[in-house]
Structure 1
Amino acid sequence: MEEAEHKQHHDHSHSHNVALLTYGLGLLIYLVALLTPIGAVTKNVFYAVTILLSGYHVIWEGIIETIAESKEHHSLRPNVHILMTVATIGACIIGDFNEGALLILIFAGAHFLEEYAEGKSKREIKGLLALNPTEARLVAEDGSVSTVAVSALKTGDTLKVLPGDQVPTDGKILNGHAVLNESAITGESMPVEKSSGDIVFGGTINQHVAFSMIVTKDSSETVLSKVLHLVEESQKNLPKAATKIKKLEPTYVLTVLALVPLFIVLAPYIMGWTYYESLYRGMVFLTVLSPCALAASVVPATLSGISNLARHGVLFKGGTYLNNLADIKVVAFDKTGTLTKGEPEVTDSFFLPFKDHSEELMINVLVQMEQSANHPLADAILNHFSPSNQFELSVSTELGKGLTAVYNDHRYTIGKPSNHSELPESLRAKVTQFSQEGKTVVVFGIDGTPVGVIAMMDLPNKNAKAAIKHLKDSGVHTVMLTGDSTVTGEAIANQLGIDEVIGNILPEDKASIVKDLQKSNGSTAMIGDGVNDAPALVQADIGFAMGDGTDVAIDVADAVIMQNDLRRLSYAVLISKRLKSIVWQNIFFSLAVIALLSVLNVLGKMDIGLGVLAHEGSTLVVILNGLRLLTTPLLKKQASLH
């Protein structure tokens, strides 16, 4: 199957390259015919060759797509490609091969630009596959350990997981304690301590001592495998979102194809024209009704918007996503690393007096103890406190309990509040307050007496609040999706002004929640940075990855926000809304020009030359209007992006 897919991709790439080559050759032949003094017949031959070389790809694609769309909707659904084909043939029938060739060159050129902007190649998930564990340490009945393939494991097998190892598959801890980095799976920024009977997930990292586990799921049923499956399935079933111009195509083309033959037949009776004049006027209609300006209404403006955003740190993988961003009703955010900095910081500390210990001495001991710990919480404490004195301590670590040290005949401890059966009233109040605020709390004790609390939290991204306010002012509903507790999520959400929080969720939950948001609210964007966000990013109508996030998130997302600056999301929404406005301006202008030229043709005031001039002039105006997006000035609030 993979070989077949590879061959299909190779064939598509080869066909695309051939089409580009023949387009370029056709363009060269057109320029030769236009700029060299050769005979009229020879020029027309050259123009006809240009039409065949430069247009065969879009003409054939138009026929195939029309057949497919018509079958799907059980009615005739011609597209602009078909109308372009008829218009080109019509121009040739009335002897203006030059106009026919020019129409094909413009339309085919716009088509290739749109293909490039949309990035039709399949998004790779090699980075995600690389995270799937491939080997495990299997413990035999005699206690010996051997390395086996994860795919060979079965439920009930006993495994050994060493420090630094990936957990091979989902299971339960048999004995020992573990400190696991589960951020890639659950999105939880804090390492998680686990003991006998606790569930562990395949793909997470053992950060501390070795432990034994029992396999509880087949390798194809693990959480990480579900992530892989969801991404692959979503990619296979991605609908091609239609732009406004795409939605107008069938009606526009059917109307033109119906009216022009009717006009040719009835004009001699209604207008008193000869049949030749009626045919001539009909061909003029096909010329002035050709959709060059209409086709150019979207692509140049979209490419300009994409270029503008790229300069300001938002990289879009396709124009459709930028076009549709203006219509987003909901934005769902991952918490860790997207709305927050992705690492804990000390937010509060509180110490009680204790005998001969000053607060300065307590902090010095605290820092010396944490210097021996290999834990993100230790990093937060060390980054926050500055010791006034350095000295040697004998520190021991008890998994599930914390740190213990002895100095000057005093025993010091750092651990969870639950390690102490009783806390002084003032400390208990602080622990309750900090916990309700979604903070992680550790207690510092001396000789078995709790004397201090330190609160830590993964703090909000400094630019998130302004971005969320801009979204809400635009009528967009904001939702936080997090693997953390709802309490922790709401603590961050309250600071940022987020409308809704959904906590305690796993990766497969995120994708289904985004699907529910799409059903209940409409078009939904998802913003995340981790492997665990990949299914939701693909499920969303538009998926944004944070630039400092994982390669997997960036690979599967539709757009990337560089430097994790959410103000760039606000700017992208601004550009998208302006793009939407410009596109509609172009569409209305194009249709107005077509209507004017049609009226003039009926009144006998239009010939081929004037029609070409007005038609191509309107196309140029539409393109220049779209290029205005290249120089759209930043809002004052956005001026600090660089």
Structure 2
Amino acid sequence: MKEYKLQGLSCANCAAEMEEEIRKLNHGEDSELQFSSSKLRVQDGVDMEKVRRILKSDGASLVDDEGSHDHSHGPNMKQLVIISSLIFGATFLLEGMVAPFVMIGMYLAAIAISGYQTFWKGLKNLTRLKFNIDTLMTIALIGAVAIGEWKEATLVAILFGLNEYLEGLGMEKARSSMEQLLKVAPKQATRLLADGTEEVVGIEDLQEGDLVLVKAGEKIPSDGVIMAGYSSVNEAAITGESLPVDKKPGEKLFGGSINNEGLLKVEISKAYHDSSLAKILQLVEEAQERKTPTELFINRFAKYYTPLIMVIAGLVMVFPPLLFSATWGGSFYQGLAVLIVGCPCALILSSPIAILSGITKNARNGILVKGGAFLEQLGKIESIAFDKTGTLTKGEPKVHAVNVYEEERFFSVAHAVERNSSHPIARAILEDERVQQADSLEPSSVDTIPGKGVRAVIEDQTYYVGSEQTLTHVTLSEGIKADIDKLKEDGFTLVIVSDEKEVLGMFGVADEVREESRTLMKRLHSLGIKHTIMLTGDHEKTAGKVAAEIGVTDVHAQLLPDQKVEKVDELKRNSKLAMIGDGINDAPALAMADLGIAMGKGTDSAIETADIVLMQDHLGKLPNAFRIAKRVNAVVKWNIGIALGLKVIALLLTIPGWLTLWFAILADMGATILVTLISLTILLMKDE
């Protein structure tokens, strides 16, 4: 599909109607008009001239590759409103000084300048019996002119034009904030050729294995590894962390991060379209168009709301004269005012600007929310389940205690089995000096016992390496039982080595608790999270020690991967549950929870499965994500209340006959301004 940038989109309802029209064209059935990102996607076979005409009918247009508009530059809505306002103001100065027909001509000129676009769209809609805001405003303008309310008709046209301008301005502010975020992608790179020469290429031309030079102040073109050079690197575009990170040869770099000083020679590890930055930008763009349940409800409601208002307006025009001896002229005037109150603009805008602002604010902090629905869900979460290893702890276990019962084979078997494993605990054991110095043995077979450990055959003898659950075949002496209990009481994870008859020895392994975990729980509880739950495969005593240290409310230990999924399924029946993890075995649990949150330096499968991605390797920014989500939800509720509340007040004013045309449009404009400004305050939130 081809993608086009649009300009002039200010109305979500109008955008949906234009999308519907474009989909009726040949080959246009899969077209997408994205209001939040102001983009259009169409198939190659669609007639673009017809598309342009559809867009032009609502004041929108395509933007070409150079960023210029595909139509002649004319006055914008702001300029039209200013001109018509000046004409309207001049009528007061000239009132009584010129002939009435001149005054009427000036009023008509002001109405035409501010309202001609709305008027023509409304007339077209009337011929097709299509009722939206343009139809309502056209009927109201014609009616006001018909009963001689020239001043109010002019004021309505001007205020409505100003209202449209402010709608577009608010949405454009949210969009531009998002676009600034998307501009972090580098455009070019300096590639080193085999003969030592340099060439400047676009980042889309970089391939895995290419060598590039990155000078001080330049952006890293794609994910890579430093081959030569030392520097500090600003990774804020990826992780949201403001402090630079020192880098040396052999260390990884994120594409889009900035080299602060020195010259770096970098080997590209991923083509740009597979890089972390490219995935981030793709996720952010896709997130803009995913509707929340609230937005979907508002859009459905608006479809019935406008026709309902027209029915109410008709009743206001007819029943008072028939039942209460009211004048036909006064009732007709009140009915016209009710039509204007029927404008759903503020209601439709109550959610998208707030959602877009929330997604943008989180993205600036290195928190990727994959859609408005997930942001809304985040603000409703009551319980959070955490995987322990690598999430609440550093995921870098160390051997702290060793009990040896048969030294000749213990270290050799541990070395032979664990050197074939990539598990963090296996790496910790291999880092023990005595294991490294052990005789090298070669297993003839190695089988994993899920959630328990490993079974290996070495020199025709079977050995087991893992938790105490692997010891079902061995009778334990009282001394070994006492050693096991002591290590568990000390909070160690046990790795026990045994053959088919006896225990050869055991390692006591401990994982350090992350520094932020201690304050994280307090902050989450202060934000209204009722339950913080730790899920782990570790022994209960090991898990309990960590839980007591960091302050989680609930612990579930000794869980196999499938049991972890079952536990998440059970927990989410009691309250809205988020699951946070970073490993490949967390992916099923992330998918099962009401909301899955992955740490960005975890596995690709966890990141792809999760609904929200933290691009840091810690949970320090998680409370801010909750604060923003709760603020967004509160703002949306306030906006809906304001939009509907002002309309209810305006409708109630029809009972004593106090509702006027200018007050009706002023109430609608006031609601639009308020919901826009309140939504944009999300971008101004300070991090805690």
TM-score, structure 1 as length reference: 0.56
Counterpart of 1:268 in 2: which secondary structure? Answer: helix
Q: Does 1:324 align with 2:377?
A: yes
**Change over 3 Å in CA distance of 1:478–1:290 after alignment to 2:** same
Contact 2:379/2:630 (8 A) holds in 1: yes
Consecutive unaligned residues in structure 2, runs of 5 or more: 1-26, 34-38, 43-50, 62-72, 88-105, 145-152, 179-289, 447-453
Q: Which amino acid aligns with 1:379?
A: R
Q: Which amino acid aligns with 1:318?
A: G
Contact 1:110/1:299 (8 A) holds in 2: no
2-side partners of 1:450 and 1:336: how far apart? Answer: 27
What's the counterpart of residue 12 of structure 1?
Answer: 32
Q: Which amino acid aligns with 2:685?
A: T
**Change over 3 Å in CA distance of 1:500–1:106 after alignment to 2:** farther
What's the counterpart of residue 294 of structure 2?
Answer: 242
2-side partners of 1:433 and 1:549: how far apart? Answer: 33
Q: Which amino acid aligns with 1:241?
A: P
Q: Which amino acid aligns with 1:344?
A: P
2-side partners of 1:600 and 1:371: how far apart? Answer: 82
1-side partners of 2:74 and 2:586: how far apart? Answer: 48
Counterpart of 1:429 in 2: which secondary structure? Answer: helix
Contact 1:537/1:553 (8 A) holds in 2: yes
2-side partners of 1:249 and 1:24: how far apart? Answer: 25
Contact 2:400/2:508 (8 A) holds in 1: yes
**Whose helix fraction is larger, Structure 1's or Structure 2's?**
1
**Change over 3 Å in CA distance of 1:492–1:241 after alignment to 2:** farther
How far does residue 246 in structure 1 lie from its aligned partner after superposition? 3.4
Give runs of aligned pairs for residues 193-208 of structure 1, distance below 5 A. none
- The superposition leaves residues 70-127 of structure 1 with CA deviations (integer Å, 9 ceiling, x where unpaired) of xxxxxxxxxxxx7646644544444655666666677789899999999xxxxxxxxx
Equivalent residue in structure 2 for 1:499, among 554, 578, 588: 554
Give runs of aligned pairs for residues 154-553 of structure 1, distance below 5 A. 241-242=293-294, 246=298, 249=301, 256=309, 259-269=312-322, 273-349=326-402, 373-375=419-421, 376=423, 377=425, 379-381=427-429, 394-398=439-443, 428-435=481-488, 437=491, 439-442=493-496, 453-473=506-526, 474-481=528-535, 492-493=546-547, 495-496=549-550, 497-501=552-556, 504-506=559-561, 514-518=568-572, 520-553=573-606
Between the two proteins, the alignment pairs up a number of residues equal to: 468
**Change over 3 Å in CA distance of 1:294–1:308 after alignment to 2:** same
What's the counterpart of residue 70 of structure 2?
Answer: none
Q: Which amino acid aligns with 1:11?
A: S
- The superposition leaves residues 473-520 of structure 1 with CA deviations (integer Å, 9 ceiling, x where unpaired) of 52533344556677766665455424252754445x6666545444x3
1-side partners of 2:609 and 2:123: how far apart? Answer: 33
Contact 1:25/1:53 (8 A) holds in 2: no
Q: Which amino acid aligns with 1:395?
A: S
2-side partners of 1:531 and 1:414: how far apart? Answer: 24
Contact 2:123/2:135 (8 A) holds in 1: no
1-side partners of 2:121 and 2:670: how far apart? Answer: 25
1-side partners of 2:596 and 2:322: how far apart? Answer: 58
Q: Does 1:594 align with 2:672?
A: no
Q: Which amino acid aligns with 2:312?
A: L
Give runs of aligned pairs for residues 49-128 of structure 1, distance below 5 A. 49=117, 84=133, 87-93=136-142, 94=144
How far does residue 438 in structure 1 lie from its aligned partner after superposition? 6.3
**Change over 3 Å in CA distance of 1:441–1:537 after alignment to 2:** closer
How far does residue 439 in structure 1 lie from its aligned partner after superposition? 0.8
2-side partners of 1:557 and 1:297: how far apart? Answer: 27
Q: Which amino acid aligns with 1:396?
A: L
Counterpart of 2:335 in 1: which secondary structure? Answer: helix
1-side partners of 2:509 and 2:372: how far apart? Answer: 42
**Change over 3 Å in CA distance of 1:499–1:595 after alignment to 2:** same
**Change over 3 Å in CA distance of 1:617–1:460 after alignment to 2:** same
**Change over 3 Å in CA distance of 1:49–1:540 after alignment to 2:** farther
Counterpart of 2:60 in 1: which secondary structure? Answer: helix
What's the counterpart of residue 628 of structure 2?
Answer: 575
Contact 1:370/1:378 (8 A) holds in 2: no
1-side partners of 2:594 and 2:686: how far apart? Answer: 27
2-side partners of 1:454 and 1:54: how far apart? Answer: 79
How far does residue 371 in structure 1 lie from its aligned partner after superposition? 13
What's the counterpart of residue 678 of structure 2?
Answer: 625
Contact 2:415/2:436 (8 A) holds in 1: no
**Change over 3 Å in CA distance of 1:51–1:453 after alignment to 2:** farther
How far does residue 623 in structure 1 lie from its aligned partner after superposition? 1.9
2-side partners of 1:260 and 1:314: how far apart? Answer: 47
2-side partners of 1:578 and 1:35: how far apart? Answer: 35
1-side partners of 2:404 and 2:520: how far apart? Answer: 37
**Change over 3 Å in CA distance of 1:603–1:248 after alignment to 2:** farther
How far does residue 21 in structure 1 lie from its aligned partner after superposition? 5.0
Moved more, 463-472 or 570-579: 463-472
Q: Which amino acid aligns with 2:31?
A: D
What's the counterpart of residue 165 of structure 1?
Answer: none
How far does residue 455 in structure 1 lie from its aligned partner after superposition? 0.9
Q: Which amino acid aligns with 2:441?
A: S
What's the counterpart of residue 25 of structure 1?
Answer: 60
- The superposition leaves residues 213-262 of structure 1 with CA deviations (integer Å, 9 ceiling, x where unpaired) of xxxxxxxxxxxxxxxxxxxxxxxxx9963369739947966864553332
2-side partners of 1:511 and 1:111: how far apart? Answer: 41
How far does residue 329 in structure 1 lie from its aligned partner after superposition? 2.8
**Change over 3 Å in CA distance of 1:623–1:109 after alignment to 2:** closer
How far does residue 432 in structure 1 lie from its aligned partner after superposition? 2.9
- The superposition leaves residues 425-476 of structure 1 with CA deviations (integer Å, 9 ceiling, x where unpaired) of 666423233357561234699xx99997531144544433433444445253
- The superposition leaves residues 8-27 of structure 1 with CA deviations (integer Å, 9 ceiling, x where unpaired) of 99533696565995455379
Question: Larger RCO: Structure 1 or Structure 2 (Cα < 8 Å, ≥ 6 residues apart)?
Answer: 1
2-side partners of 1:351 and 1:523: how far apart? Answer: 47
**Change over 3 Å in CA distance of 1:628–1:347 after alignment to 2:** farther
Counterpart of 1:521 in 2: which secondary structure? Answer: coil
Counterpart of 1:548 in 2: which secondary structure? Answer: coil
Contact 1:87/1:100 (8 A) holds in 2: no
TM-score, structure 2 as length reference: 0.53
How far does residue 283 in structure 1 lie from its aligned partner after superposition? 1.8
2-side partners of 1:503 and 1:92: how far apart? Answer: 72
1-side partners of 2:578 and 2:122: how far apart? Answer: 38
2-side partners of 1:353 and 1:628: how far apart? Answer: 67
Q: Which amino acid aligns with 1:246?
A: I
2-side partners of 1:101 and 1:629: how far apart? Answer: 26
**Change over 3 Å in CA distance of 1:530–1:268 after alignment to 2:** farther
What's the counterpart of residue 449 of structure 2?
Answer: none
2-side partners of 1:540 and 1:463: how far apart? Answer: 24
Counterpart of 1:328 in 2: which secondary structure? Answer: coil
1-side partners of 2:162 and 2:565: how far apart? Answer: 47
How far does residue 546 in structure 1 lie from its aligned partner after superposition? 1.6
